[in-house]
Structure 1
């Protein structure tokens, strides 16, 4: 690769920002130029959107400030097209940025298109704006003793339901899910989670499938209507269509299919990370979390640095380590896991879990700061023996 190699990172979320900062350090004195593109200058802490929904104010972190001192250029704008043949991206339908290497970190958003009414009558936690809209609505609903329905009993749904119930004692919160909340946890951790739901007065509709979202209710598959003065949709994700539209090979979810080094199988100059990448390891498929996203960003930054210096890329190795779940501001549960995310016997609850969870939620920003001066690893587990050989 030449010394004037151009790298463009699209997406300024957890993975995009980390990859840009680490790339800057790993490629210093090589003449590489790095540009990060994101629709907003604000850095969104997706791990904390449920706190905004509960009415809390978060610090306003700016991406240019996070990049300060790295030499990375920041372009505020929306990537509207990717042309992998010409190797350029279009920003806001007009400006074009040429690249030699593209880091695709556009991530995912909540899929509200599969159930009628979800796109028009439900709120999401996709951004500070949407979470803020829900917070404003909940203030009105709580004042009248109304009901919030949280659709989706995954970790996002559980964190949102508990955070909101704790902040609005007069609000009735109903958690609707197909699976039992905390079903991926061990029995003891799951019992603690359900104890927190009981303590906060959260009603559960388990084994229920939502078929329609109405202005004042959600309709279940069995025909029942559950009152809903406000509805929060947390189930299902969708990827940006840009990669598929560009002719880059994607899977049935729209994620870029990558090889063992996280490079696109159809366009090797494109590296996909985080929620944008379809990553399969020996133990199974990665799913979109910050826990797995930051390691993909770290690996990709290191891979590009190796390629710039004429070295060979190495396969990505990773294993899950924990499932941290906040249960309001004063309680949490941490389930430690094996590499494939099945539960181990160890877990934390109560105050120690609250401290642990806060360390996890705040760790990306600390990682960015330290990564300007040293190589900070975000990989706790490489997955053991199972990941020593890449999946064919």
Structure 2
């Protein structure tokens, strides 16, 4: 029995480890372009130099799980073609390649390891008084702007995008704004249309709003996530309008039941890109595959949310509590309790991936 897991993020790593526990006779191979497990939700800390985000896969995967350093170029009939020119056969495949970032030219994407590493070096080289612009007013952009401002109070930090923390309640949004103001982050709720290269390598950010015009920036960071790799589509699997692989209620591709799809690249109704989503999907896929191998009936996937957390530097944060369908409640947590809860959830996500031990809420009725 050969099982290939494509991708070693939260979902892929957890799925591989859980399968190694439940199907010990299987030959499990993880295919990943990097030798490390990267805590993507901590990349803003890597940019600011305030946290470690990479752990060798050798320390994350159970003994007996093989690793091939490569990217999957195409999924065929019982095999995957790698960018090294080699191939790997499978009886079952777990597709967990996540999402990627398509940044505007002239900006540095902070949602990838390579982009965050470049941004960290560029940020460290900036002199006092320089201006950093972060594009994207979702959680990634807010956390990046706050982390930079907290770690480098000698810089001018600007956050640009659409509605700030758009999925939060009005009260939580006001609290996020207050936290950013405390860190002296200026917020421009507008939309970036293009980035123009300026003098001496600086960037000039052009906004749609005539009132804002062009803004000079010494370093412009792109913090908008959500692009999906086209691997599923170019492999002939059915995808939705965002490029995510369409799955049945057991998380199997509707095009090929040998393929389970989990994480950001899976078109699961009601789901959003988050480690809170990836872990349960990786675990459920592993459990379902183990049940099928043992000749047992699969159970449908069900998962409910509890909230969305973000940090505002090292000492402040906001946790927006939600209903199981991910809609925001009126209540939220803020300040030090939010920081402690967010850190606990982040550590728990990594622990779950490494140990294959995880629990989650069932979905809304």
Q: TM class, shorter-chain normalised?
A: over 0.9
**Aligned partner of 2:364 among 373, 381, 384:** 384
Question: Which structure 1 residue ranges, 4+ long, deviate > 6 Å from structure 2?
Answer: none
Q: Provide the secondary structure at the position in 2 that maps to 1:357.
A: helix
Would you say the 8 A contact 1:37–1:75 is kept in 2? yes
Cross-structure match for 1:41? 35
Cα deviation for residue 190 of structure 1 reads 2.1
The 5-angstrom pairing of residues 1-392 of structure 1 reads 5-28=1-24, 31-58=25-52, 60-69=54-63, 71-83=64-76, 85=77, 87-112=78-103, 118-119=104-105, 121-141=106-126, 143-179=127-163, 181-206=164-189, 208-215=190-197, 216-223=203-210, 224-280=213-269, 285-371=270-356, 376-379=357-360, 381-385=361-365
Cα deviation for residue 370 of structure 1 reads 3.6
- Which whole-Å deviations, capped at 9, do the CAs of 1:103-122 have from their partners, x for residues lacking one? 0000111122xxxxx13x11
Would you say the 8 A contact 1:80–1:93 is kept in 2? no
Cα deviation for residue 361 of structure 1 reads 1.3
Deviates more, 1:287-296 or 1:88-97: 88-97
Would you say the 8 A contact 1:298–1:378 is kept in 2? no
Cα deviation for residue 186 of structure 1 reads 2.3
Would you say the 8 A contact 2:279–2:358 is kept in 1? no
Structure 1 residues 383 and 356: CA distance shift in structure 2, 3 A: same
**How many residues align structurally?**
358
Question: What is the TM-score with the length of structure 1 in the denominator?
Answer: 0.88
Would you say the 8 A contact 2:14–2:355 is kept in 1? no
**Separation in 1 of the partners of 2:124 and 2:35?**
28
Q: Provide the secondary structure at the position in 2 that maps to 1:237.
A: coil
Deviates more, 1:254-263 or 1:90-99: 90-99
**Separation in 2 of the partners of 1:212 and 1:254?**
24
Q: Provide structure 2 residue ranges, at least 5 long, that are not aligned to the other structure.
A: 198-202
Cα deviation for residue 339 of structure 1 reads 1.4
**Separation in 2 of the partners of 1:297 and 1:200?**
37
Structure 1 residues 59 and 225: CA distance shift in structure 2, 3 A: closer
Q: Provide the secondary structure at the position in 1 that maps to 2:37.
A: coil
Cα deviation for residue 158 of structure 1 reads 0.5
Q: Provide structure 1 residue ranges, at least 5 long, that are not aligned to the other structure.
A: 113-117, 386-392
Would you say the 8 A contact 2:305–2:322 is kept in 1? yes
